[in-house]
Amino acid sequence: MKISDSFFRLLLALFILFAGKVPSEVESFTGTYGINYGRIANNIPSPDEVVKLLRSVKIKNVRIYDADHSVLKAFSKTGLEIVVGLPNGNLKDMNSNPDHALTWVKDNVLAFLPDTHIRGIAIGNEVLGGADQSLWEVLLGAAKNIHNATKTLKIDDVIQITTAHSMLVFNNSYPPSSCTFNDNIIQYMKPLLEFFSNNGAPFCLNAYPFLAYMDNPNDIDINYALFQTTDGIYDEKSKLHYDNMLDAITDAAYTALENAEFRKMEVIVTETGWASHGDQNEAAANGTNAKIYNYNLRKRLAKRKGTPLRPKKMLKVYVFALFNENLKDGPTSERNFGLFKADGNISYDIGFSGLKSSSSLSTNFRWMVYCSVLISILLLIL
């Protein structure tokens, strides 16, 4: 049947219309639940085994703190979506030398696309408010040069540029409606927010009710920090009620952004978790509390809802962390945030299975299939 010219022109117009629909901004996080894959350890599973583990627990969104090639190769053709990190130690070089930024993106991002689904680059981690103030001055320049490199290489439509902040950037986060950015960092924060806002990037926050509770156990109800049944808090100014601390911290960040005139920027929690073991002065760091926090966090995120201040903006969280990391500095708690132990087995049960459990289940399933086939053959013979 011959297609009329008018009908053909209509089809062509529709094709052009929809083919031209390009997303206005890149999203590096498409779900609600992601995980941080830290590797400051000498006893954790190989990247190939990590891929098996992540697939078995159905976690798709992953953050790493560098761009290790063994990890990026292992993630190739897996469907897992990864955000790589530009370490703090590289910031000064990336700020001062755009050519080095271009080379870094070529070698650590472009070289692995499209088979490895790299979705973002995190420029440093917890720089503003950190001890090294010389990095505060170069963070924005490094972010711009890395972003310009993605544009030059024509991958800016698939790679989102972000940076993660600690709670140290805030002057006061309680109650949430009172939150502002610290006076000593606002001169660095505002131009950074302007840059990220122009590129559709979110405000990334490492938010730890665990640390907040540890700092002030006398005034904070641990049940409030653990998503347990509690009276919570009522914010008199906003007239909003909070039944858990993570929502309150997230809304504190939204308030600080409002006060800085960036009301439309989304907040993503890029780290949160609870330590399962600690020193003698870290009584709250234990397996029971870690299990309660992470189990309730999964339940909270499964509801796919927003916070009291942003009820329509679904909360997105990267849990810290995939494994306990035995080579990390600091108190014992720093080495015990993992949902999984070094051997790939669960640290505590929140509904996940470890590597050995998954392997055992897989083996049992294969034996069931073999037995079924054998029985079928025997029945046919008889």
Residue 381 lies in a domain: no
pLDDT greater at residue 367 or residue 296 = 296
Task: Give the pLDDT of residue 10.
Answer: 43
Decide if 70 is inside a domain: yes
Structural domain of residue 347, as residue ranges? 23-351
pLDDT at 13 over 50: no
pLDDT tens digits, 281-330 = 999 999 999 999 999 999 999 999 999 999 999 999 999 999 999 999 99
Specify the higher pLDDT residue, 9 or 223. 223
The pLDDT of residue 366 is 45
| Number of domains within the chain | 1
The pLDDT of 79-91, averaged and rounded, is 98
| Residue 374 falls inside a structural domain | no
Establish if 44 belongs to a structural domain: yes
What's the CA gap between 313 and 265, in Å, rounded?
11
pLDDT, tens digit, for every residue of 234-247? Answer: 999 999 999 999 99
pLDDT > 90 in the chain, percent: 82
Tally of CB atoms within 10 A around 319: 25
Percent of the chain surpassing pLDDT 70: 86
pLDDT tier for residue 381 given thresholds of 50, 70 and 90: low
The answer on pLDDT for 379 being more than 80 is no
Is 123 buried (19+), middle (13-18) or exposed (0-12) by CB count in 10 A? Answer: buried
pLDDT at 298: 96
Active-site amino acid positions: 126, 271
Whether 265 shows a pLDDT value over 50: the answer reads: yes
Question: Residue 280: its pLDDT value, please?
Answer: 96
Q: Does 359 map to a domain? A: no
Q: For residues 338 and 41, what is the distance between their CA atoms, to the nearest angstrom?
A: 12
Note the pLDDT tens digit of each residue in 346-366. 999 999 988 765 444 344 434
The domain that holds 120 is classified in CATH as 3.20.20.80
Q: pLDDT value at position 139?
A: 98
Closest by CA to 140, choosing from 180, 193, 104, 182, is 193
Model pLDDT, residue 19: 38
Predicted TM-score (pTM) of the model is 0.86
* 85 located within any domain: yes
Confidence of residue 62 (pLDDT cuts 50, 70, 90): very high
The overall average pLDDT reported for the chain is 89
Q: Which residue has the higher pLDDT, 35 or 9?
A: 35
Cα 20 to Cα 15, 132, 247, 291, distances in angstroms: 8, 45, 38, 47
Query: What is the reported pLDDT for 350?
Result: 96
Asked whether residue 264 is assigned to any structural domain, the reply reads yes
Amino acid in position 205:
L
pLDDT band at 230, cuts 50/70/90?
confident
| Tokens matching residue 312 | 């329509």
pLDDT at 376: 53
Indicate whether 89 pLDDT > 60.
yes
Name residues whose C-beta falls within 8 Å of residue 199's C-beta, 6 or more positions apart in sequence.
25, 147, 160, 161
